[in-house]
């Protein structure tokens, strides 16, 4: 078999947002095509002279209007089945880009963002939609598989690093944080233990501000103390450096 040279590389992004209740994913509607599924993940071919993360940020800016600094982006898996895009789907891509590729290998990314009014307005204007994770049926190409994979990554990462805060507004209640964990992990969490754990971490700062106009005891707003987290991480790494230079 000869070396493959007439191939293309693409990025596809599973973009997650949280509205306080459910976890949602950003889906793009593509121009109707008889037998092809309409909804897909935001993605793009890689352009000359850009890295894969750069391509992903470009796609995300286009889809959400948000810049790098307002997005959390992570590379996950590569989908390299020679036939993952073929037949009508391959024609659709070649027509769309005016190229003639025989194979598209894609790199899956997942992205997290703070789902505020401005962002939802922007995405709906673009013809994209935020779909609850549980309501997604079929997607174009192998995008359903990419999405499942992304969800797995998110679950794992949320239990090991403070990515949850990327999905919440700057100020949030501990209950909102808890609901986010429950929505992503699909479990119920004891709120006493949850608060204890979160507050004892030392990474949450009470703002003194409280909810207003709610028909119950108003919850306090907290912020994530990223600096405290960084310091703690650094201390941990420094310790690790003593007895484990490889980290």
Stretch that binds DNA, among 86-94, 104-112, 206-214, 234-242 (CB under 7 A): 206-214
Q: How far apart are CA 217 and CA 220, in angstroms?
A: 10
Map residue 7 onto helix, strand or coil.
strand
Task: Name 17's bridge partners.
Answer: 24
Q: Give the one residue of 216, 238, 242, 247 binding DNA; rule: CB under 7 A.
A: 216
**DSSP character string of 100-164:** --SEEEEEEEEEE----HHHHHHHHHTTEEEEEGGG----STTHHHHHHHHHHHHHHHHTTSGGG
Q: Give 166's DSSP letter.
A: G
Selection from a copy of itself, DNA, none that 48 binds (CB < 5 to 8 A by kind) is: a copy of itself
| Residue 212 makes contact with DNA by CB under 7 A | yes
Q: Look-up: residue for tokens 């990554």?
A: 153
- How many angstroms separate the most distant Cα atoms in the chain? 69
| Residue 168 makes contact with DNA by CB under 7 A | no
| Residue 174 makes contact with DNA by CB under 7 A | yes
Q: Give the one residue of 48, 215, 242, 244 binding DNA; rule: CB under 7 A.
A: 215
Strand ranges of the sheet holding 172-173, from the earlier edge strand across to the other edge: 172-173, 220-224, 204-210
Stretch that binds a copy of itself, among 60-68, 99-107, 167-175, 216-224 (CB under 8 A): 99-107
| Residue 244 makes contact with DNA by CB under 7 A | no
| Residue 193 makes contact with DNA by CB under 7 A | yes
Q: How far apart are CA 237 and CA 18, in angstroms?
A: 31
Q: Which of residues 34-63 bind a copy of itself (CB under 8 A)?
A: 45-53
Are 114 and 165 in contact by the 8 Å Cβ rule? The answer is no
| Residue 155 makes contact with a copy of itself by CB under 8 A | yes
Q: Which run of H or E residues covers position 226?
A: helix 226-243
Selection from a copy of itself, DNA, none that 225 binds (CB < 5 to 8 A by kind) is: none
Q: Which of residues 158-197 bind a copy of itself (CB under 8 A)?
A: 185-188
Q: Give 68's DSSP letter.
A: G
| Residue 209 makes contact with DNA by CB under 7 A | no
Supply the minimum distance, in Å, between the C-beta of residue 221 and DNA.
Answer: 8
Binding site for a copy of itself (CB under 8 A): 1-9, 45-53, 75, 77-78, 80-82, 97, 99, 101, 103, 105, 107, 151-152, 155, 185-188, 243-247
Binding site for DNA (CB under 7 A): 173-175, 190-193, 195-197, 210, 212-220
């Amino acid at each position: 078999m000869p070396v493959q040279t007439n191939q293309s590389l693409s990025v596809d992004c599973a973009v997650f947002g949280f509205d306080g209740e459910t976890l949602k994913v950003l889906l793009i509607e593509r121009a109707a095509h008889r037998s092809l599924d309409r909804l897909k993940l935001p993605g793009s071919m890689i352009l000359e002279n850009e890295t894969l993360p750069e391509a992903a940020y470009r796609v995300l800016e286009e889809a959400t209007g948000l810049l790098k600094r307002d997005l959390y982006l992570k590379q996950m898996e590569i989908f390299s089945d020679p036939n993952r895009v073929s037949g009508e789907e391959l024609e659709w891509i070649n027509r769309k880009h005016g190229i003639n590729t025989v194979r598209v290998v894609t790199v899956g990314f997942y992205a997290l963002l703070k789902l505020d009014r401005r962002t939802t307005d922007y995405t709906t204007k673009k013809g994209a939609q935020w779909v609850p994770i549980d309501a997604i049926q079929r997607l174009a190409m192998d995008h359903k598989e990419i999405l499942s994979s992304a969800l797995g990554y998110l679950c794992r990462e949320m239990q090991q690093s403070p990515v949850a805060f990327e999905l919440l507004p700057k100020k949030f209640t501990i209950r909102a944080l808890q609901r986010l964990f429950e929505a992503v992990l699909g479990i119920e969490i004891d709120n006493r233990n949850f608060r204890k754990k979160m507050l004892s971490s030392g990474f949450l700062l009470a703002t003194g501000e409280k909810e207003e106009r709610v028909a119950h005891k108003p919850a306090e707003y907290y912020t994530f103390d990223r600096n405290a987290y960084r310091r703690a991480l650094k201390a941990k790494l420094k310790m690790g450096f003593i007895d484990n230079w490889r980290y």
